[in-house]
Amino acid sequence: MLEERWAAAEQTAGLRDPSSALPPWPPLRPPAASFSPAEVQRRLAAGACWVRRGASLYDLTGFVRHHPGGEQLLRARAGQDISADLDGPPHRHSDNARRWLEQYYVGELRVDPQDPLENGVVASADTQKTDPAMEPQFKVVDWDKDLVDWQKPLLWQVGHLGEKYDEWVHQPVARPIRLFHSDLIEALSKTVWYSVPIIWVPLVLYLSWSYYRTLSQDNIRLFASFTTDYSVAVPKSMFAGLFVLGMLIWTLVEYLIHRFLFHMKPPSDSHYLIMLHFVMHGQHHKAPFDGSRLVFPPVPASLVIAFFYVLLRLILPEAVAGIIFAGGLLGYVLYDMTHYYLHFGSPHKGSYLYNMKAHHVKHHFEYQKSGFGISTKLWDYFFHTLIPEESHPKMQ
């Protein structure tokens, strides 16, 4: 619906200054439609979630499940002016969050001069205090060509963004992404969320059963390849401890990969490193609610999982390595499922997952250099990369 509404804008490409590095802020909009208060009320009665900011109207129906504060919080504000909510408390929404809101703009609230009730509604909207720097500009813009052509696969394009890439990739959009020209490779780069437990949980169960039997039947000793005098026996009673150790090790691996690999800043003069970053993680930050790219696709995941298995086998006895690996693999499954839920779930307010969802969405929209834990904040605490708590008084 949004694409159709902006179809006219696509016919006027080139109105924006081609020398500008990034899309203009505030985001430029298509020509405004107008809706009377009665029309807005009819849509609300039909279950839509429209809000307004001053006299500007936004249809957030498709976003309510993604809102970090929960679906009910957003639906409770349906039909209301959210200007004060954007400025806090509990926190001031980031510039990226405000850009994100503009993608759901549908038009303006229209007043009937003969209706004093409607006139009063719009008058209150017009007098709402807002930051002038955030006021929208009503000009036509081609949203499908900011720095890339969104009608074509993006991977080969982003390599040419150079120094503009880092800022561009951290300005999220509400649309899916295509990476590759090849339909086969494109299909292998995406997956549904439930492929992760379907493929990997049976392997966790098999490895756990197999290596528990090995631990029960064989005389397994640690450090036996280095010394027989100080080797340590590994009884079957240690199975649970080794399995949990594997899960704990995964949380550290998750943190380190996210912080140092996924959030590396590729050199601006390296097309291939920019492309590598984008395919690994940048595409997720650009389109954080593309449901087909939220969990690790099975084919590339198999290569990474095989690497960790071989690494453990090289440094530990087979049974010990296998049990730790099984625990780590379960940790990975829980991580991917948690990640998907943090983007698409609506956890109960005050719950652990509610707090983690707010934490992770802040990472996407404002604090990309902190908050690297997905399934736990443990290592963010340990390495001092927690997202800072904010407290902003409500604007008067």
Instruction: Find the helix or strand (DSSP H, E) in which 198 lies.
Output: helix 195-217
Please check if 360 is assigned to a binding site: yes
Please check if 160 is assigned to a binding site: no
Please check if 91 is assigned to a binding site: no
Please check if 343 is assigned to a binding site: yes
CA 186 vs CA 169, 178, 200: distances in Å: 20, 7, 22
Which residues neighbour 7 within 8 Å (Cβ) at sequence distance 6 or greater? none
Please check if 348 is assigned to a binding site: no
Q: What distance in Å separates the CA atoms of residue 272 and residue 158, rounded to the nearest whole number? A: 9
Among 177, 176, 2, 170, which Cα is nearest to 96's? 170
Please check if 392 is assigned to a binding site: no
Q: What distance in Å separates the CA atoms of residue 49 and residue 40, rounded to the nearest whole number? A: 10
Q: What distance in Å separates the CA atoms of residue 34 and residue 17, rounded to the nearest whole number? A: 28
Please check if 281 is assigned to a binding site: yes
Please check if 285 is assigned to a binding site: yes
Among 71, 97, 102, 78, which Cα is nearest to 86's? 97
Please check if 277 is assigned to a binding site: no
Maximum Cα–Cα distance across the chain: 97
Please check if 364 is assigned to a binding site: yes
Structure tokens given for 257: 């990969």
Q: Residues annotated in the binding site for heme, as ranges?
A: 67, 93
Provide the annotated binding site: 67, 93, 258, 263, 281, 284-285, 339, 343, 360, 363-364
Residue numbers belonging to the annotated binding site for Zn(2+): 258, 263, 281, 284-285, 339, 343, 360, 363-364
